[in-house]
Structure formats: structure tokens, C-alpha cells
């Protein structure tokens, strides 16, 4: 196996520390790292929050180094929320964001989800570009955990849902 070969696999409990460190360093790199808080508790319990709930969490490695990650958290039977998508700052501009997004979309389809929703901060212009070029549609803007965010959705399969359905799921009063 080449040192540059990227291996995608499901999260395992031994990945917990690496996932936490990537989350914190990648968040700091884009200017959205605040104090640790309850909003990050999902990363301390990935097996239950993502996998056991019917979603998934994927990590990508080059050799032994974690270089990208992301999760799918079920909202309901048709909708999954894409969460915690991160790429190691040292590995930006290598297509890893697009590849992990593609992995997560494939998994969402295989798990039976018809829609993916997500949010990203307004200052993360690179993430916005990634999602928009991958077919995600801006749904609305708001505030979440003190940051101005943009909410997106993408239909994976099936017929279009009524616009109010997505608005109901992406509720600013009940952030996921």
C-alpha cells in the first residue's frame, strides 16, 4: 500500500482521541473553535450518537494518520444530518473533502435516507463552495452556537419533499 493511499472506514473506538484532536485543530484552522462545550458531546460518544442510532461515522487515513472524517446522524427515516465533516488542515486542497462527502452520501443512500441536511458557518467559504458544487441547496441562514450559519439540503433519491418539510427539520429552535 502506498503512503499516499487513502483508506476510508467506519469509526472504531480506538479513533476517539484522533477524531477529537482533528475536530479541534480543523475548527481552529477555520476560525470556529470556541471553548469546549456540550455542543461537542457527540464526539465523545460517536458509537451511540451516530452508528447505533442508524447513521454512520467515517474516518479516512493515509498510513496511520487520520486525515478526514464525517458523520451521518439520523433526523427521521428519510433525513440524515451531515455532521463533523473535517479535513486535516495539512491535507487541504487534495480533494479529501469531496471524497469524504461522496462516501457519506453513498452511505446515506445505502441506509435508506432520501435527504441530507447540514449547516456550515458563513466564514467557511471553502465548505460552502464544496457543498454547493456537490448539489446542496441553501435553505436559510441563522445563528447556531453563536455563529452565523447557512443551512443546506440535498435530495438523494425519490420525489421532492414539500419545502416546509425541510424547514421543519432544520429548526433553529431545536438545533441538532
SS3 119: strand
Q: Tell me, what's the pLDDT at 149?
A: 93
- Mean pLDDT of the residues in the chain: 85
Cα–Cα distance for residue pair 73/47, rounded to 1 Å:
11
Judging by DSSP bridges, how do beta strands 79-87 and 115-121 pair with one another?
parallel
- pTM of the entire structure? 0.84
Cα–Cα distance for residue pair 176/174, rounded to 1 Å:
6
The domains found in the chain, sorted by start residue, are 6-169 (3.40.630.30)
The number of CA neighbours under 13 Å toward the Cβ of 101 is 20
Q: How confident is the model at residue 32 (pLDDT cuts 50, 70, 90)?
A: low
For the cut 70, the answer to whether the pLDDT of residue 34 exceeds it is no
Cα–Cα distance for residue pair 81/115, rounded to 1 Å:
8
Cα–Cα distance for residue pair 19/24, rounded to 1 Å:
9
- Mean pLDDT across the stretch 155-162? 66
Q: Tell me, what's the pLDDT at 146?
A: 80
Taking only the tens place, the pLDDT of each residue in 49-94 is 999 999 999 999 999 999 999 999 999 999 999 999 999 988 988 9
For the cut 90, the answer to whether the pLDDT of residue 167 exceeds it is no
For the cut 90, the answer to whether the pLDDT of residue 38 exceeds it is no
Taking only the tens place, the pLDDT of each residue in 120-132 is 999 889 899 999 9
Taking only the tens place, the pLDDT of each residue in 136-148 is 999 999 998 788 9
- Mean pLDDT across the stretch 112-119? 96
Amino acid at each position: 500500500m502506498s503512503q499516499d493511499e487513502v483508506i476510508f472506514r467506519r469509526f472504531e473506538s480506538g479513533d476517539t482521541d484522533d477524531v477529537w484532536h482533528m475536530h479541534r485543530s480543523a475548527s481552529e484552522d477555520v476560525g470556529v473553535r470556541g471553548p469546549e462545550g456540550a455542543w461537542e458531546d457527540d464526539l465523545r460518544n460517536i458509537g451511540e450518537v451516530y452508528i447505533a442510532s442508524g447513521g454512520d461515522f467515517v474516518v479516512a487515513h493515509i498510513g496511520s494518520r487520520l486525515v478526514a472524517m464525517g458523520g451521518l446522524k439520523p433526523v427521521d427515516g428519510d433525513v440524515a444530518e451531515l455532521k463533523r465533516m473535517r479535513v486535516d488542515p495539512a491535507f487541504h486542497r487534495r480533494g479529501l473533502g469531496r471524497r469524504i462527502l461522496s462516501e457519506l452520501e453513498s452511505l446515506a443512500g445505502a441506509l435508506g435516507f432520501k435527504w441530507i441536511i447540514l449547516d456550515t458557518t458563513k466564514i467557511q467559504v471553502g465548505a460552502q463552495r464544496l457543498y454547493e458544487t456537490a448539489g446542496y441547496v441553501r435553505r436559510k441562514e441563522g445563528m447556531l452556537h453563536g455563529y452565523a450559519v447557512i443551512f443546506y439540503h440535498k435530495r438523494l433519491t425519490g420525489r421532492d419533499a414539500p419545502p416546509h418539510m425541510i424547514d421543519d427539520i432544520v429548526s433553529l429552535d431545536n438545533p441538532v
